[in-house]
Structure 1
């Protein structure tokens, strides 16, 4: 007979960023919480995403410099050791022990919902009042005829490679593909990216072009607007056939063409939880699903798949679920692709040809920090409405992600370019790009005929007032002399 737990206030399914934040938040309120994780707590960010990929990018940059100076090949085992050391540093924070120390019961196992308010985990029944779905997403398994699974890796399994692939083919052109492509090229792999449209298709055209140029400078071959017709096995790996009749030889093929939500076999249909056509859990702005007792957060939803959103959305969901609040998530969503140069964007990133808003661009040739570091190819671009309100923007260059924080705040708080330009910025920093772009817009608005006339009138009145003042001083001086 299946074991039963006493009823819990919140059942959390998934031990990644969203699940951990949600569970700890609820426990902090004093709720009774159980978190179920099928594999290991910490999620994609810790094990296969943010931490290993950013460590790899840093290691690759140092390796490229060292190789250029010494001519010696990259010590790939040392790179892997550094990656695993970074993971180990954060592993303790997301461990079951740390989560349980916060007041959450952690169960390892496979969960399926049986009926509203009832779930089963490997034979154990759990009764719950509310549930948070936070099972995340997995890499899409691209079906390429003739391509053997033994020749492929994904963003989850590429970390298992024990030797540096001499020839790496990447299917996809999004942030993951670009970051890993540049990193492996800098480590010494011959990298070819096969991209259905263009790289970073969601980003500003100029931003994508700058990243493309830098990838090519690092030795990456980019085949844009290219499809794949099939593949054949070779002695060393695979030969991929492209739609233009060409071929790409690879020892390893990285499949990086998107991610799919982990909703299969959860039994969500038994709870009346609706999914979209791509199997994402549908939520409203309060992170509630079609079942008012079921909430969702993180990559399993249709929201952008970012760690910073997963935690924030989980906090909103749990606050609403446990306390009966009606908090809503923010629609201001910053994003960063950590290539060199970085691409960071938030809000609107394109003009509507001046109908309601326009674009202001400050090239980094006039950012003194960029000049000092010989990194002037980037730019800061703001989207601004006719009243000077900042609606979004794109930054390309070193530390673009850090500089974007100011633009994100401006969008969130409805700040104008006048307010940003009037704020003292530390010098010399890359944030000068934001200040410069804001100042360009302010100066452009001051140059408009009506404003120019108003300024001219104010200047004339000020001159008259000062003239009278000086005349009065002169008269009193003459009287004193007399």
Structure 2
């Protein structure tokens, strides 16, 4: 619906997850909302991120099982078809039509801020009261001399490959690199990862060790603590020269060395929106920028780059903008690396306990569901702060991301291990690991000298009370019958 006075209440730049959620939230509150997207709505998650990569991982897991059972090699074209089907099935939820139905006007084109409350869309002037910057990010350029773009793909263009690369070199060791590396290895590529430091550097070393061994078992060669100095084409592929003097030959190179925010040529200086040294829009805990009438969410900000955070943060931003609220984003930040096994973790970015705490670990060799599934190569670890408060945790195992939800809620709501231990959990499940780790902490705290002395004293008092009732009761009368109610 067009604004009656020609001024847009809420202007959204970008049609990815953050833009879609922010626009729908604002429109739902009655604000005239316009979303501008220069390509297609849905963003990285739908077209080149979450949806295609998780579909690929599922297909790769099935391919591994099929090869083991029958010796049949995967059909890469069938895998590509399955990815296309998944995207096609989910796409209507993120489409322009769905946004229009929700009350959001969608305009195609390139937009730039021109001054306070003004912007231009392909030269057409627009006026707005408030705006949400949700332009996302893009794969970073590794800047390697001689690397031929024609033989290079990124997390955005790898889906355009029409044939399975026989030899795939991956630059990077983060979640994207590990997930795609394992998937392509299981489908049939000869995969080599070249990692500047170590794979999954943000995760616990014990968790990384398990995933590293799993990647190697699937045939992935991992070269850590090394870099590519130069690259050159040769007959049939690319030769990557490494800093240690060795070389890696590949038919295709997948660059996965991080992402950079899309903030260039947005005219941010015209509206006093500040960025950090890497170009990310700076926001406060309410997702407001240095301009109090302009907000930001998603990968364009310096917040952790996860789809779930983009959506939640955009909802917070739109609610604060349209209703004048002062909602703050949660300090609980969950993340999942969807390798096999998965690594799922949640940490707190807030003050106080933060990530500090006593670790309580249940190894899955002692977890009944893991034993029955013959998947014991993992663990569940809670970080426990003062008074038993759960400050974070890590889970390694099949579907670890599903069990993480309980830990994320615990960190967000400042629950204690006693809260978890006192909640009945279904048996046998992988979430038993969370419950068992909580029970372990409760028992450890009960075993402390001070608590132990108090418990023993209560037990003695209770024994005296029961003995007194037994002695004073009449023959044939239950000991409790004389108690007053």
Q: What's the TM-score once normalised by structure 1's chain length?
A: 0.95
Q: Is the 8 A contact 2:112 2:266 kept in 1?
A: yes
Corresponding residue for residue 6 of structure 1: 6
Q: Deviations over 1:30-54 (max 9, x none)?
A: 1111110011000000000000000
Corresponding residue for residue 187 of structure 2: 187
Q: Is the 8 A contact 2:348 2:411 kept in 1?
A: no
Q: Equivalents in 2 of 1:377, 1:102: separation in Å?
A: 46
Corresponding residue for residue 138 of structure 1: 138
Q: Deviations over 1:100-151 (max 9, x none)?
A: 1111111111111111111111121111111100000001011111111111
Corresponding residue for residue 233 of structure 1: 233
Q: Deviations over 1:395-438 (max 9, x none)?
A: 00011111111111111111111111111001111000000101
3-state SS of paired residue (1:92): helix
Cα pair distance change 1:437/1:124, threshold 3 Å: same
Q: Equivalents in 2 of 1:444, 1:110: separation in Å?
A: 59
**1:68 Cα shift?**
2.1
Q: Equivalents in 1 of 2:346, 2:120: separation in Å?
A: 41
Structure 1 unaligned spans of 5+: 478-482
**1:476 Cα shift?**
7.1
3-state SS of paired residue (1:91): helix
Q: Equivalents in 2 of 1:60, 1:436: separation in Å?
A: 32
**1:473 Cα shift?**
3.0
Runs of 4+ in 1 over 6 A off after TM superposition: none
Q: Equivalents in 2 of 1:210, 1:201: separation in Å?
A: 13
Q: Deviations over 1:340-374 (max 9, x none)?
A: 0010101169xx9xx96211101112221111100
Q: Is the 8 A contact 2:48 2:159 kept in 1?
A: yes
Higher mean alpha-carbon deviation, 468-477 vs 424-433, is at 468-477
Corresponding residue for residue 459 of structure 1: 459
**1:270 Cα shift?**
0.7
Question: Are positions 1:298 and 2:298 aligned together?
Answer: yes
Q: Deviations over 1:202-248 (max 9, x none)?
A: 01111111110100111101011111111111112101111111111
3-state SS of paired residue (1:153): strand
3-state SS of paired residue (1:333): strand
Q: Is the 8 A contact 1:114 1:120 kept in 2?
A: yes
Question: Are positions 1:105 and 2:105 aligned together?
Answer: yes
Q: Is the 8 A contact 2:356 2:383 kept in 1?
A: no
Q: Deviations over 1:3-54 (max 9, x none)?
A: x992110110000001011111111111111110011000000000000000
Corresponding residue for residue 480 of structure 1: none
Q: Equivalents in 2 of 1:186, 1:356: separation in Å?
A: 38
Q: Equivalents in 1 of 2:446, 2:82: separation in Å?
A: 53
Q: Equivalents in 1 of 2:369, 2:264: separation in Å?
A: 50
Q: Is the 8 A contact 1:380 1:395 kept in 2?
A: yes
Corresponding residue for residue 196 of structure 2: 196
Q: Equivalents in 1 of 2:301, 2:465: separation in Å?
A: 64
**1:69 Cα shift?**
2.3
Corresponding residue for residue 417 of structure 1: 417
3-state SS of paired residue (1:52): helix
Q: Equivalents in 1 of 2:5, 2:46: separation in Å?
A: 30
Corresponding residue for residue 312 of structure 2: 312
**1:386 Cα shift?**
3.7
Corresponding residue for residue 430 of structure 2: 430
Q: Is the 8 A contact 1:61 1:183 kept in 2?
A: yes
The alignment covers a number of residue pairs equal to 470
3-state SS of paired residue (2:94): coil
Q: Is the 8 A contact 1:136 1:262 kept in 2?
A: yes
Q: Deviations over 1:299-334 (max 9, x none)?
A: 100001111111111111111111111111111111
3-state SS of paired residue (2:176): helix
Question: Are positions 1:59 and 2:65 aligned together?
Answer: no
Question: Are positions 1:339 and 2:321 aligned together?
Answer: no
Corresponding residue for residue 252 of structure 2: 252
Q: Equivalents in 1 of 2:28, 2:452: separation in Å?
A: 57
Corresponding residue for residue 439 of structure 1: 439
Q: Deviations over 1:261-303 (max 9, x none)?
A: 0000111111110000000000111111111111101110000
Q: Is the 8 A contact 1:348 1:393 kept in 2?
A: no
Q: Deviations over 1:141-164 (max 9, x none)?
A: 111111111111000000000000
Q: Equivalents in 1 of 2:201, 2:283: separation in Å?
A: 26
**1:72 Cα shift?**
2.7
Corresponding residue for residue 392 of structure 1: 392
**1:338 Cα shift?**
0.6
Structure 2 unaligned spans of 5+: 478-485
After superposition, where does 1:155-166 map in structure 2 within 5 Å?
155-166=155-166
Q: Is the 8 A contact 1:116 1:271 kept in 2?
A: yes
RMSD, aligned α-carbons: 1.7
3-state SS of paired residue (1:343): strand
Higher mean alpha-carbon deviation, 467-476 vs 99-108, is at 467-476
**1:474 Cα shift?**
6.0
Q: Is the 8 A contact 1:5 1:125 kept in 2?
A: no
Q: Is the 8 A contact 1:362 1:380 kept in 2?
A: yes
